[in-house]
Amino acid sequence: MRFDTKLIHGGQGPDPLTGAVNVPVYLSSTFAQSAPNRHKGYVYSRSANPTRTALESALAAVEEGAVGLAFSSGLGALATLLESIPSKSRIVADLDLYGGTWRLLEHHRRTFGVLTDYVDFTDLEQVRQAVAAGPAPAMVYAESPTNPLLRVIDLAASAKVAHARRSSFVVDNTFASPALQRPLTLGADIVLHSTTKYLGGHSDVIGGALVVRSKARGEKLRWLQNAVGAVPSPFDSFLVLRGMHTLGIRMRAHSAGAAAAVEVLDSSRKVRAVHYPGLASHPQHAVAARQMSEYGGMVSFELAGGMPAVRRFLRKLRIFTLAESLGGVESLVDHPASMTHASVPRSEREAHGVTDGLVRLSCGIEDPADLADDLRNALGSL
């Protein structure tokens, strides 16, 4: 099956009991047994629920992994994954991470002595040195494209560096989604998602996922999924699965919206820099062209006028809504320094380019011409 077909049929089929073409929302916490431990594969909905199973097998199919696991949030997925690594072990991670990911890694440092070294993954030599220094890392971790600066990490090359020391390479694929890149096919061992974003796609559900290449590792994480219990409800599982059906056409529309936005931003004198992997001037454009099929809906840029310009610009927008999160059908705008990345200290933030003038767009699937007009109008007011 090709990708768009897989989104609708991969790991899914009509309900075996009724023929319903969509998996029913099995709102049941427990399942009848005919005798002790004699059941139809379902015992208790924390361990497994048929609606969640449908989502999990679809996730495995579209990311090309052996095991898919759904969680109640992206951070719930990460927290469960972190439960699988021993205390006092080492992680090597990229320095541009979702703020909540950084916060949880730092919590593990304080509580379990798990030390994370943050290095610049766009410079593979730095990754090689960090991975080689000291005991083999339990995990090598990166997002690509990164949040909010849209840097692009060479996933195949990073996987090789991790594997040279038998470390797992984990990729947060939230920004690209499997429609644009499939890290497991490039050598990653585990893919993490905030399904809250593009997979759900409608800003109506919080969810997370892990997709694991090895069946054995996947089954260990399935054990932890049940032991920790950060599982999504049957209804939330249904919403994510429903969103996934249209991921292919949505990602093409998101990419078209972003391209229109970038054209306006890139030609404006009010904008100091535009960060978008689709731009030929993007420092990792060649890597992006190699590992992504399109460049996605996320764009960030720096307003020349700093914070005062940001405030005015945000007030003038009509279609882009000021809100955290991303990946929904509606366009959103975010000010990372004061919103999504406020938990990262200013010095750390600014050291790698998250300045007060930085604005992040999640381009929705509205008509690209309306997105362009909205930005042109707001820039015109500066």
Ligand X SMILES: *Cc1c(COP(=O)(O)O)cnc(C)c1O
Residues in touch with ligand X (CB under 6 A): 73-75, 98, 100-101, 143, 147, 172, 174-175, 194, 196-197, 206, 208
Cβ closer to ligand X: 65 or 328? 328
Beta-sheet pairing, 332-334 with 358-362: antiparallel
Least distance from ligand X to the Cβ atom of residue 72, Å: 8
Cβ closer to ligand X: 22 or 321? 321
Cβ closer to ligand X: 98 or 128? 98
Active site residue 46: yes
Least distance from ligand X to the Cβ atom of residue 101, Å: 6
Least distance from ligand X to the Cβ atom of residue 336, Å: 11
Position with the least CB separation from ligand X: 74
Cβ closer to ligand X: 79 or 274? 79
Task: Give the C-alpha separation, 296 to 63, whole Å.
Answer: 17
CA–chain centroid gap for 52, Å, is 19
3-state secondary structure of 175: coil
Beta-sheet pairing, 271-275 with 332-334: unpaired
The tokens for 111 are 């509580």
CA distances from 341 to 147, 294, 320, 334, 338 (A): 9, 26, 19, 10, 7
Within 13 Å and on the Cβ side, how many CA atoms surround 214? Answer: 10
Contact predicate 68/59, CB 8 Å: yes
Amino acid letter, residue 253: A
Contact predicate 329/297, CB 8 Å: no
> 6, 26, 90, 98: which one is catalytic?
98
Active site residue 197: yes
Active site residue 172: yes
Least distance from ligand X to the Cβ atom of residue 4, Å: 24
DSSP secondary structure code for residue 90 in this structure:
E
Q: How many CB atoms within 10 Å of residue 322?
A: 12
Cβ closer to ligand X: 143 or 189? 143
> 182, 197, 213, 360: which one is catalytic?
197
Least distance from ligand X to the Cβ atom of residue 152, Å: 14
> 4, 15, 42, 46: which one is catalytic?
46
Cβ closer to ligand X: 15 or 330? 330
> 96, 117, 154, 172: which one is catalytic?
172
Smallest Cα–Cα separation from 243: which of 11, 42, 59? 59
Least distance from ligand X to the Cβ atom of residue 106, Å: 15
The tokens for 206 are 């919080």
Q: Which residues lie below 8 Å from residue 124, measured CB to CB, with a gap of 6+?
A: 154, 157, 158, 161
Q: How many CB atoms within 10 Å of residue 135?
A: 10
Catalytic positions, please?
46, 98, 172, 197
